Amino acid sequence: MTDPGERLRSSLAADQSSSASSSSGMADFDSPIAMEALRATRVLHAADQDPFPAPSRIRVITIANQKGGVGKTTSTVNLGVALALYGLRTLVIDLDPQGNASTALGVEHTVGTPSVYDALVGDSSLGEVVHPTTASPKLLCVPATIDLAGAEIELVSVVAREHRLRRAIEAYIHALPAEQRPHYVLIDCPPSLGLLTLNALVAGDEVLIPIQCEYYALEGLGQLLNNIDLVRQHLNPGISVRTILLTMYDGRTKLADQVADEVRNHFGDLVLPAVIPRNVRVSEAPGYGQSVLTYDPGSRGSTSYVEAARQLAERGAALPPLDRSGMAGVTAAPPVAALSVDDGEQHAVSTQESQ
């Protein structure tokens, strides 16, 4: 299996040998503490040294798996922080009434806080409910409050209920000048396949599925994939599963390897080479309103998420600028993917125009 920190380790090893030769005996990078400090420096000064490539188009990624506790929120938050620390403007949308992503990003989400609920069910624009984060000036968050728990029912009577989030994101992006548009929009879904997840699947251009390296990991996945197929046929022809991320990998168990192998056999190249290990620092970080990258940047959890985010970004830079496959004959809202970042002008291409 590919070691998620391989790239980082080799660059650290290069640093180690060059500093050893330049100052004989001065820096002992063999010591675990020194290595961890070096890793931490690397992560925290990432954007200056080694920025991630920008995607060829705005990527709206729905992080979904109706199975609970598989690492959806942890992956959304840590990938989001990694992308932002490495130079890419990122918006995290918390679409889970539990509000875990908001907590982990240290964003207020008590009842009454302007939140995604106001944009989905109310009349607020997404721009009115976006909050800054302390992790990075490039990372913004739309928090979820407990009000969102009622949205599944309240949305039932709303016109175009499945399209509410997509339209909110499109309006938000269109209203921004190109140099302020996010490169990445990450949507954290609740552990269900209800109207909230449906809104996220209609809003996204791609799905990232975190899979826990545990028994039963693949159970229920068929149902999620069927739902994504249905959404593609009827509501959002542009959606596809583009990324699988293996989470909570425990290298001490044979089971973790078996699950990882099975997932790779099933999904092939969709599975990121980087694997997120089970790491206690990852689970501690939200308690401090932080991602693991800011809480313990040198930890294995942190470096693995950085590596996964780098692979995600590299794949994003290699995507075709505009993927209109399957769009013919469908009258949907313009794909967000058709909007570019950083080119100084908006050029949304609606599906009607593309026919």
Ligand X SMILES: Nc1ncnc2c1ncn2[C@@H]1O[C@H](COP(=O)(O)OP(=O)(O)OP(=O)(O)O)[C@@H](O)[C@H]1O
Cα–Cα–Cα angle for 89, 94, 96, rounded to 5 degrees: 160
Tell me whether residue 85 or residue 275 sits nearer to ligand X (CB atom).
275
d(CA 78, CA 300): 13
Tell me whether residue 192 or residue 240 sits nearer to ligand X (CB atom).
192
Residues numbered 291-320 forming contacts with ligand X, rule: CB under 6 A:
301
Min dist CB 352 to Mg ion, Å, is 36
Contact with ligand X (CB under 6 A): which of 239, 276, 336, 338?
276
Contact with ligand X (CB under 6 A): which of 145, 279, 302, 303?
279
Contact with ligand X (CB under 6 A): which of 59, 72, 109, 310?
72
Min dist CB 94 to Mg ion, Å, is 9
Residues 6 or more apart from 61 whose CB is under 8 A from it?
Answer: 184, 185, 186, 187, 204, 205, 206, 207, 208, 242, 243
d(CA 240, CA 228): 7
* CA atoms within a 13 Å half-sphere pointing along the CA-CB vector of 208: 31
Cα–Cα–Cα angle for 206, 235, 330, rounded to 5 degrees: 105
Question: Per-residue x/- marks for Mg ion, 176-215, CB under 5 A?
Answer: ----------------------------------------
Rule CB under 6 A: say whether 287 interacts with ligand X.
Answer: no
Contact with ligand X (CB under 6 A): which of 73, 113, 197, 311?
73
Number of residues that bind Mg ion (CB under 5 A): 3
Rule CB under 6 A: say whether 194 interacts with ligand X.
Answer: no
d(CA 112, CA 114): 6
Hey, what are 282's tokens? 């990852």
Rule CB under 6 A: say whether 282 interacts with ligand X.
Answer: yes
Rule CB under 6 A: say whether 70 interacts with ligand X.
Answer: yes
Tell me whether residue 236 or residue 279 sits nearer to ligand X (CB atom).
279
329: left (phi over 0), alpha (psi -120 to 50) or beta: left
Tell me whether residue 146 or residue 176 sits nearer to ligand X (CB atom).
146
Closest by alpha carbon to 190, among 51, 72, 319, 352? 72
Residues numbered 108-147 forming contacts with ligand X, rule: CB under 6 A:
none
Cα–Cα–Cα angle for 317, 302, 102, rounded to 5 degrees: 85
Which of these ranges, 5-13, 155-163, 275-283, 313-321, lies near ligand X under the rule CB under 6 A? 275-283
d(CA 169, CA 200): 10
Tell me whether residue 39 or residue 67 sits nearer to Mg ion (CB atom).
67
The binding site for ligand X (CB under 6 A) comprises: 68-74, 96, 100, 191, 247-248, 276, 278-279, 282-283, 286, 301
Residues that bind Mg ion (CB under 5 A): 72-73, 100
